[in-house]
Structure 1
Amino acid sequence: MKLKLPKGPFKAYLFDCDGTIVDSMPLHYIAWKRVLSEWNCDFPEDLFYSWGGMPVAEIIATLNERQGLTMPVADVMKRKEGLYFEILSDLKAVPEVLEHIEASHGQIPFAVVSGSTRDSVTASLTVLNLLDRFDTLVCAGDYQRSKPDPEPFLIAAARLGVAPEDCLVFEDTEMGIQSATAAGMASVKVPQPWERVLVS
């Protein structure tokens, strides 16, 4: 399937990373399930996908609160990242998005805007030989308020020197689309893995 882009022209493309550039959400979920099983913490798959774009530390803190747990955030975060890195060799790009990266690279600037850590984003993009395509990475820790707040996308636009209304955002989650809309940016919704299987 092809992504239908809104009418441009756009002066910059801003991409979420996990589930948008890289088909990493299934791998992240495997890592989450492994680490959370050590704490008897339940994390249903539909909840995992609905929280796409939420920083890792925030996910752990929210699960603690909801389930009355006391998982140490920094330790669980480190262990989850380690488990993700162990299975990273299985990572693939999302073909519908890769097509636009290849077609427009060098013509307009690109940024990654992610709720994941910089280490995770860098590792994912390095595995797929895509890291050098992006002019800047905005990751967890670079902003105060995460998606659906507009702050992460506004930081990316400012770093690229492009007005928000001239940016096109590629996102796979509702939270990300809300963030882009709040930033005054046009967006295109990337289908989830099971949606891509149905229509491809």
Structure 2
Amino acid sequence: MLDPRLQPVPPYSALIFDCDGTLVDSAPANERAWRHALAAQGVELDSAWYHARTGLSADELLAALEAEIGRELDRQQAHAAALDAYDWLVDTVPPREQVVAVARADHGRVPLGVASGGSRERVLASLRAARIHTLFDVVVTKDDVPRGKPAPDVYLLAAERLRVRPGECVAYEDTDEGLAAALAAGMRVIDIRPALTATPIS
């Protein structure tokens, strides 16, 4: 049974989902990967600081961290090390069943897309590990656009590739940056966080 808080309200012509934290519960694996990558450069990642910024792209996260610690990092090395570490952890990443249930319910009825601030390699690995990659007609990542979230670029491109007007889409997100991106694209947005932390409404 679908959680009523996650059900899209008609009319809509497409559903577009964020990946990390929305379709898959990747936060623990992502944190472990970044912690490993940054330790090699002498940085201890603060868990609370990281979780307040999970909606940022890798470049934006590293820029924020540089500002926090007051020195430059080797961003390319850190990003590569985090990707390598995530590859080892991806099989531990479970799907968000409440959200995936929405995608399954509308699969074949309306176009479904993914609009993620992560890299294409990481997003596809997560979707495949969760065995949900075949649900989606389009996958757009930060590698496809000039600006990451909270800019609307990934959502606008996903709608374009689905051949649907942005205003006819419902987006699913779990971060403030993601919500801002979808709203800036002109979409209706469902914040999944209340459904993850509270008892379902009967």
Match of residue 158 from structure 2: 156
Q: Deviation at 1:56?
A: 1.0
Cα separation, 1, equivalents of 2:151 and 2:36: 30
- Name stretches of at least 5 consecutive residues in structure 1 with no aligned partner: none
Same amino acid, percent of matched pairs: 30
Question: Which moved further from structure 2: 34-43 or 108-117?
Answer: 34-43
Match of residue 96 from structure 2: 94
Match of residue 65 from structure 1: 67
Q: Which residue of 140, 159, 169 maps to 1:138?
A: 140
Deviations 1:129-158 (A, max 9, x none): 211211111111211121111121111111
Runs (4 or more) in structure 1 with deviation over 4 Å come to none
Q: Deviation at 1:69?
A: 2.6
Where in structure 2 are the equivalents of 1:2-81 lying within 5 Å?
Answer: 2=3, 4=5, 5-81=7-83
CA RMSD of aligned residues (A): 1.9
Give the AA of the match of 1:34. Answer: H
Cα separation, 2, equivalents of 1:182 and 1:46: 27
> How many pairs does the alignment contain?
198
Cα separation, 1, equivalents of 2:52 and 2:34: 14
Give the AA of the match of 1:2. Answer: D
Question: Which moved further from structure 2: 79-88 or 39-48?
Answer: 39-48
Deviations 1:127-186 (A, max 9, x none): 122112111111112111211111211111111110111100000001111111111110
Secondary structure of the structure 1 residue equivalent to 2:108 = coil
Does structure 2 retain, via aligned residues, the 8 Å contact 1:20–1:171?
yes
- Name stretches of at least 5 consecutive residues in structure 2 with no aligned partner: none
